Amino acid sequence: MVNRAFFDTLAELAKEKRLDKETLIQAVEAGLESAYKRTYLENRKVRVLLNEEKNEVEFIAYYVVVEGDPQEKSGEISVEEAQDIRPGAKVGDVISDSFTIDDFSRVAAKNVIQVIMQKINEAHKKLISEEMKGKEGELVRAVVRNVDKEKVTVEIVQTQMKGIMLTRDQIQGEVYTPGNNILVCVKKLSDTQKNEPTAYVTRANSLFVRKLLEREVPELKANLIGIRNIARTAGVRTKVVVFSNDYNVDPVYSCLGRGSERINNVSRELNDERIDIIRYSTDPKEFIANCLSPAKTIKDVSIDNDNKIARVLVGDDSYATAVGKGGSNARLASKVSDYTIKIIKNSDVMLDDGGSDNQ
């Protein structure tokens, strides 16, 4: 016999763990079964049922009917004893009999609470994993819990699932402080972290940028425009190649928004990372020139399609911009266009031509 408060506590626990009450009751029943076996060291099968209407915990034992004397605590019962419970029982039958435990409180004190909480936590972890399955590749909010040299540990909001953001998944120069609420993209789910459901999250990959754009640009969601490719150096610059599925919709303007509002919103989420929206073209020369944005003075582009090499002649005033700091703009342009881009300064060509004329 248990009091009403026992079931009220279960209801509160179900709410806290976001489990339906039936799932919680099943976890408690499984915990009681396990605790009973630990305490009484019996081999017989025992099932526990919680009866909320009667405020009762019912124990049901299952026995195999055997001929002769049964072994103690073995789950066996003699034919005579079995027939007292169920007339007509014969050897080989499995019969059940309910019983109570007078010193139930002693069992609870020793084993029940620990086992029940273990079962509840297992059910809670399963619930979280099921909820997060559809979140891979999606944006979620998370609270920073811990920061060390190798990773940032977060808690996914409204799930209590742990998330790990490795160094390579962090934006260069961004500072993470415990308690901060941040937006992350779920890369994958894993249960290898001490059997605890864990989400590996990122703010540094190209998918994060894609999802941010999809959130800001309704034309992407409506499939009026599309993203062909993204190349990114997190914290520095991102290049996004876009195209239109509708002649009347400009893909570049759609991503920028009026007064560049949309792209500025994305950039702010990326710690003011620079974002180049590049118009795709089936003309390789035009496309390569677009990829070198924000460089303006592109004088000539020669294409070696067999080897996927583009030689680009730029004005001296655009050379530094075309190459970028430490070659970053040229590298991203090569990556996003799938061409090896070689940038040549106009004055260098003129010097070479002058030298040839003097010989």
30 and 100, same structural domain?
A: yes
98 and 14, same structural domain?
A: yes
Asked whether the beta carbons of 249 and 218 are under 8 A apart, the reply is no
* CA geometry: angle 46, 47, 48, nearest 5 deg: 125
Q: Which of 184, 202, 220 is the last residue of a domain?
A: 202
Q: Which of 130, 161, 182 is the last residue of a domain?
A: 130
> Stretch 108-132: mean pLDDT, rounded?
71
Q: Coil, helix or strand for 92?
A: coil
Q: Residue 242: inside a domain, yes or no?
A: no
Mean pLDDT computed over every residue of the chain: 86
Torsion region of 151: left, alpha or beta (phi above 0 gives left; psi -120 to 50 gives alpha)? beta
- Structural domain that includes position 297: 281-359
CATH code for the domain in which residue 337 is found: 3.30.300.20
Q: Residue 343: inside a domain, yes or no?
A: yes
β-bridge mates for residue 287, sequence order: none
β-bridge mates for residue 91, sequence order: none
88 and 24, same structural domain?
A: yes
> Stretch 124-150: mean pLDDT, rounded?
86
pLDDT digits (tens, 9 = 90+) for 333-350: 999 999 999 999 888 876
Q: What is the chain's alpha carbon radius of gyration, rounded to the nearest angstrom? A: 34
Residue 356 scores a pLDDT above 50? no
Q: Which of 128-137, 163-172, 237-246 has the lowest mean pLDDT?
A: 128-137
Q: Please give the structure tokens belonging to residue 102.
A: 């007078």
* CA geometry: angle 20, 24, 26, nearest 5 deg: 120
Q: Coil, helix or strand for 208?
A: helix
pLDDT digits (tens, 9 = 90+) for 288-319: 999 999 998 889 999 999 999 999 999 999 99
Residue 79 scores a pLDDT above 50? yes
Measured in whole angstroms, how far is the alpha carbon of residue 74 from the centre of its chain?
47
Please list the helix, strand and coil fractions of the chain in percent, rounded to the nearest 5, in that order: 40, 30, 30
Per the document, the length of the chain is: 359
User: Nearest CA to 166 among 192, 181, 187?
Assistant: 187
Give residue 106's pLDDT band: very low, low, confident or very high (50, 70, 90): low
The pTM for the full model equals 0.71
Task: Tell me what pLDDT residue 147 has.
Answer: 96
Residue 240 CA to residue 230 CA, distance in Å, equals 5
**Domains in the chain, number:** 3
User: Nearest CA to 129 among 168, 156, 101, 90?
Assistant: 156
> Stretch 223-236: mean pLDDT, rounded?
96
Give residue 105's pLDDT band: very low, low, confident or very high (50, 70, 90): low
CATH code for the domain in which residue 68 is found: 3.30.1480.10
Amino acid (one-letter) located at 90 = K
Please give the full DSSP string across 225-243, using - where no structure is assigned. Answer: EEEEEEEEETTTEEEEEEE
Phi, psi torsion values for 111, nearest 5 degrees: -130, -30
Q: Which of 194-203, 275-284, 348-357 has the lowest mean pLDDT?
A: 348-357
Residue 74 scores a pLDDT above 80? no
145 and 196, same structural domain?
A: yes
DSSP state of 178: T
